[in-house]
Amino acid sequence: MSRRNYTELTEFILLGLTSHPELHIALFVLFLVIYIVTVVGNLGIIVLLKIDSQLHTPMYFFLLSLSLMDLCFSTNVTLKMLENFLSGKAISYAGCLVQCYIIIVVLLPEHCMLAVMAYDCYMAIHNPLLYNSKMFKSTCIHLVIVPYVYGFFLSVMENLRIYNLSFCGASESNHFYCADPPFIKLACSDTYGKGLSMYIVADYSNIQSLLVILTSYMFILVAILRSVTAEGRQKAFSTCSSYLMVVTIFCGTLFCMHLRHATEVSVEQGKMVAVFYTTVIPMLNPMIYGLRNKDMKEELQKVIGKQTLGK
């Protein structure tokens, strides 16, 4: 039955991270700092990659796209969470749908982007002489656009499934944003189709991306071990270790979040896991890619040096 036939709910209550009001101010300050660091870090990478022509390579083009995704993803979740720490915890039905849509339309392409970056790393190490002839500009643009199109259509499909659910009873969601597992628990209509679709999309996206990533890194490891010089091995490890670190954290937390049934215990545990991939990982990505990347550190020092001399 259509949601519009009998639902009277126009808003939902997000219970948030904790039920202890005395912790709200401390948590507000903590996540505000995390969000500021996230914005500064990701915007810094975007600006640096745009203004420095020496960093206009496929690897950094994909990194720029990842930073944009992290910025959108963190903003979509964190701003509402910060508002809830200080004021009411209500979110409108339309607002909840928008938040769900943005999460999926950014999260799924980020899966794909991590896989693309792993493949790019493999190409750079395994076939360095053929790298520029294969990873040319149009190829890179397609590798970025296709994940966005994929995420757009899946997000529309999943949101239509949510829209067709009926919400006519409880309005309290045990989460700090409109996440699918706790959100669909509030529905008073049949949620089997939506639940099945949710797990299929999550499983397929995770497994598909992980297969590409693991396969790429397996060949990367073989190429590294075949490297004649110690310098070549060190450079290869330095290039790919940051990617592998991000992939491990990101995909690991998503598996913990989505590959579980929406029970009260799993939702409570899922909130803690969700904190990592919605707020912490977008903050860590610029640090991992920036501070561990020799080229970016050198270019950042040049930019800072020019600004200092200009003053």
Q: What is the pLDDT of residues 135-174, one digit of tens each?
A: 888 888 888 898 889 888 888 888 888 888 888 766 888 8
* Burial of 308: CB neighbours in 10 Å, binned 0-12, 13-18, 19+: exposed
Q: What percent of the chain has pLDDT over 70?
A: 77
Residue 46 has pLDDT above 80, yes or no: yes
16 sits in the region (left: phi over 0; alpha: psi -120 to 50; else beta) called left
Of the two residues 304 and 179, the one the predictor is more confident about is: 179
User: Cβ–Cβ contacts within 10 Å for residue 231, how many?
Assistant: 9
Angle of helix 281-291 versus helix 24-51 axis, rounded to 10: 40
pLDDT at 1 (0 to 100): 42
What span, in angstroms and rounded, lies between the C-alpha atoms of 91 and 88? 9
Name the token pair of 195.
């639940």
- Best CA proximity match to 61, nearest among 120, 123, 130: 120
pLDDT higher than 70, residue 42:
yes
| pLDDT reported for residue 5 | 47
Please give the backbone phi and psi of residue 91, each rounded to the nearest 5 degrees, phi first.
Answer: -135, 135
* Segment (H or E) for 91: strand 90-92
Closest by CA position to 159, among listed 299, 1, 21, 3: 3
Helices (H) then strands (E): counts for the chain: 11, 3
Of 191 and 6, the structure prediction assigns the larger pLDDT to 191
User: DSSP letter at 237?
Assistant: H
Higher pLDDT: 19 or 294? It is 19
pLDDT confidence of residue 170? 66
Q: Which domains does the chain have, with CATH numbers?
A: 3-310 (1.20.1070.10)
Q: Which pLDDT value is given to residue 183?
A: 77
Average pLDDT of the residues of the chain: 79
Residue 190 CB-half CA count within 13 A = 5
Structure tokens given for 301: 């020092």
Mean pLDDT along residues 212-217: 78
Q: Return d(Cα 91, Cα 14) in angstroms, integer.
A: 7
pLDDT band at 204, cuts 50/70/90?
A: confident
pLDDT of residue 253: 67
Q: Integer distance in angstroms from the first to the last C-alpha of the chain?
A: 67
